[in-house]
Every structure is written in structure tokens, then in C-alpha cells.
Structure 1
Amino acid sequence: MKTIKIISVVLRGLPNTLTLLVASFFLATVLGIFLAWLNLRKNRLARGIARLYLGLVRGTPPLLMLLLAYYGLPVLLKSIGIDIDHWTRMTFGILGLTIGWSAYLSEAFRSAYLSVDPGQLEAARSVGMSDRHSFWQIIVPQTAMIALPNIENLLIGLVKATSLVYVIGLYDMYNQATNLSNQTSGVYQLKIFIILALIYWVIVLLIEWGFRLIRGHYAKMMA
């Protein structure tokens, strides 16, 4: 089988892979920030809710999280009168990955925030800056810069985790490669999966390049 044929078949799943990656990472980031905010509050109930969520999610394998989202959530919601059987596999895939990665991103944001010297807020107040202005102009940029390496690693991990959606029958690149291998009775299996690995590697290289640009931009801003 020609290499170009393998690439063309595998790339049929690229739109789904990228949709999963972008949507779940965006939603996980939003949810992660909210969870970090809850975890940093002085309110015990808020902290308790955040820590319970983080403990449960981080202790559950991503593959199991996808299965729970796809098979368990419809049953759970149906018991209280909510029917989500019409949701697409893509929706469940995004939901499962979002839940899984939100916990890891939350800890990345929280640890980065705690690494910033709180004395800088006092210094900003002493020169007449408001707390809100100081937070957005001083604390947030430093928190983002500190969190960037962890965010990059988590995004790369999410790239690889998108392949897990095969368990719910969603046709991403991995599923396309597996089907192609089965159609050829495994004769070209090694070649197919090497090409698949190289495509994932290219995606990871693009992510690393993007984060280098972001770090360079932040470095110039904070110089």
C-alpha cells in the first residue's frame, strides 16, 4: 500500500481530532480556572467541592472518564428526567476529555498563582494602584508565564488522549488507522501506525512552536 494512500485515509480523522483537541482544551481551561478559584477561596465549602472534584477526576483514568461520560451520564440524567440520548459522540468525547483535563489544568493554574510573591500587591497599593488593576496587570501575567510549561505539557498530553475516543466509536485519526489496518488484515499495520505516530508528532511540534512564540512574547512584555 502506498504511503500517500495511508496518509489520505488517516487524515480523514484529522478534523475530528482537532475538534476534540481545541474544544476540550478550551472548555477544560475555563473549568480549570473556575476550580482553581474555588480552591483558593477561604470558604471551606467551596474548597471542599473543588478538592472533591479534583480528587475524583485525577484518580480516574481518562479512558474510564470517557466511558462514564458516554454510558453513565445519560443514565444518570435520565433518572432525573433529562434526556441526552440525542447528543452526538463528539459531544460526549469533548465532555469526557474536558472533565479529565480540567482537574490537571486547575492544579497548574493554582500552583502558578501561589508561586507569585503576594508582596507585589502590597507594593502596588503603596504606589496607588487598585487591587483589581494590580491583579490583572501584575499577578495574572506572572501566573500565566509560570503556568505555561505545565499548560504546554497538558495540551500535548491531550493530543495523545484524543485517540482514546475510539472506545465510543468516534472516527478520529487513530480509529481511521485501526480500520485501515483491519481492512488489510494487518499486512501494513506497522507502516500505518508509524505514519500515524509521525502525524501526531507533527501536531506536537506545532504546539511546541506556538508555545515558544508565546513565551517569547511574554518575555518581551515583562522585560
Structure 2
Amino acid sequence: MLLLSWSLILATVLGMLLTRMKLAKGRFWQGLANLYLNLVRGTPPLLMLLLSYYGLPVLLKLISINIEHWTRLMFGVFGLTIGWSAYLAEAFRSAYLSVDPGQLEAARSVGMNNRDALFRIILPQAAVNALPNVENLVIGLVKATSLVYVLGLFDMYNEAANLSNQTAGIHQLQIFVLLALTYWLIVLIIEAIFRQIRKHFALMA
């Protein structure tokens, strides 16, 4: 749960920053964001975790930064954060662009400044529009946490596999069915949370 929470929080923050860069008027920031998004979205999550664990320490050592003291959890969080920040950035960007730009002009015409118009009119609508995509990405992140076994981290999948080995595979089917049901329960909880968020925004509208 710690892995999921930190990965989601950091990926959201980084995704917002990437969205801001993508929507910036300067070609440098747009180009940098596009390069990041294309590289990350073209890299499988499993490979991203392996690159984070084995490649990042080597890369940072070239500029005299030593991260060998990092725990495997930190590398897992870093790998998932990098991967999901790109997907979230695209979800945020498409949600922002889905809001009619004419509303910004209308806000200006009644004397509202750009900052107030952005935070009081544009972003609330963009947040509602982003919810379906963000919900799917959170569910995908839950499933992706099972990949951290490649770093030696013990998650639900690892525990299930170890339990299956301890019983010589006799109860393997039952163990993995229970694991699938556990993931399903987590997904149901996430769906319930997002359903409540949508209801909250609907009441505010």
C-alpha cells in the first residue's frame, strides 16, 4: 500500500508539471515534455522498473550522486512514478483541452483575471473530465505494483507465489484465485471512491 500511495502521489505531481510544460507556449518546454512522454510511454513498466534499479545508480554516479543507499521500495516508487506520470500528464492535458476556451474569454469579459478564471472555472471542469481516465490509470497502477517482484520487493503476488511453493503447488489454484479476488476487491474500492468523488462534483455543479 505504501508503494501504491507514494507512486500515485508523486506521479500526479509530476504529471501536472508535465502538463504545464506541454501546454506552455515556449517550444523548448513543449519539446522537453514531448521527449519525456514519448520515451516513457514507449517503455514497458517492467523495463522501467529494471532501468530504475540497475541503470539509475550508474547514471547518477557519472555526476557524482550516490544513491546506493536507496531501498528497493524507493526504486520501485521511482520506476512506477516515472511510468505513470506520463500517462497522467496526457489524461490531465486532454481534460484541460476539453473545456471550452470560450469560457476563459467570458470570464475575462466580466472582469475576472486569468488566475481566478483558471482556478474557479477551467480547472474544476477539467478535473471532472479527467476523472474517468485517472480512475483507469489508478487501477492500472494497482496491477502494476505486482511487477516489483523483479526488484526483490515482497508484494501480494510474491507472497502468493511463496505460499504456493511452500505447499508444493498443491493449493496453487486456490491461492491465485484468492489473489485475483483480492485485486478485484481493491479495484472495487477504488471505483467506489471515484464514484463518491463524481457525486461530490455533481452536487457542486
Corresponding position: 1:37 with 2:20: yes
Which residue among 193, 196, 199 is the counterpart of 1:210? 193
Which residue among 67, 75, 91 is the counterpart of 1:92? 75
Match of residue 174 from structure 2: 191
Determine the C-alpha separation between the residues in 2 that align with 1:61 and 1:185: 32
Q: CA deviation digits over 1:171-221, x for unaligned, max 9? A: 111111111111111111111110011111111100000000000000111
Alpha-carbon shift at residue 48 of structure 1 (Å): 0.4
Match of residue 95 from structure 2: 112
Corresponding position: 1:163 with 2:146: yes
Alpha-carbon shift at residue 79 of structure 1 (Å): 2.0
Same amino acid, percent of matched pairs: 69
Determine the C-alpha separation between the residues in 2 that align with 1:132 and 1:169: 46
Alpha-carbon shift at residue 72 of structure 1 (Å): 0.6
Determine the C-alpha separation between the residues in 2 that align with 1:212 and 1:220: 12
Alpha-carbon shift at residue 76 of structure 1 (Å): 1.0
TM-score with structure 2 length normalisation? 0.99
TM-score with structure 1 length normalisation? 0.91
Match of residue 72 from structure 1: 55
Determine the C-alpha separation between the residues in 1 that align with 2:76 and 2:67: 14
Bigger Cα displacement from structure 2, 47-56 vs 124-133: 124-133
Determine the C-alpha separation between the residues in 1 that align with 2:60 and 2:15: 23
Q: CA deviation digits over 1:11-61, x for unaligned, max 9? A: xxxxxxx11111101100000000010011110110000000000000000
Determine the C-alpha separation between the residues in 2 that align with 1:65 and 1:76: 14
Determine the C-alpha separation between the residues in 2 that align with 1:32 and 1:182: 39
Unaligned runs of at least 5 residues, structure 2: none
- Amino acid in the other structure paired with 1:33: M
Determine the C-alpha separation between the residues in 1 that align with 2:167 and 2:66: 40
Q: CA deviation digits over 1:134-176, x for unaligned, max 9? A: 1100000000000000000000000000000000000111111
Unaligned runs of at least 5 residues, structure 1: 1-17
CA RMSD between the two structures:
0.7
SS at match of 1:200: helix
SS at match of 2:66: coil
Alpha-carbon shift at residue 83 of structure 1 (Å): 1.0
4+ residue runs over 4 A deviation: none
- Amino acid in the other structure paired with 1:199: T
Alpha-carbon shift at residue 120 of structure 1 (Å): 0.4
Output aligned runs, 1:168-183, within 5 Å: 168-183=151-166
Tell me the number of residue pairs that the alignment of Structure 1 and Structure 2 aligns: 205
Which residue among 137, 140, 150 is the counterpart of 2:120? 137
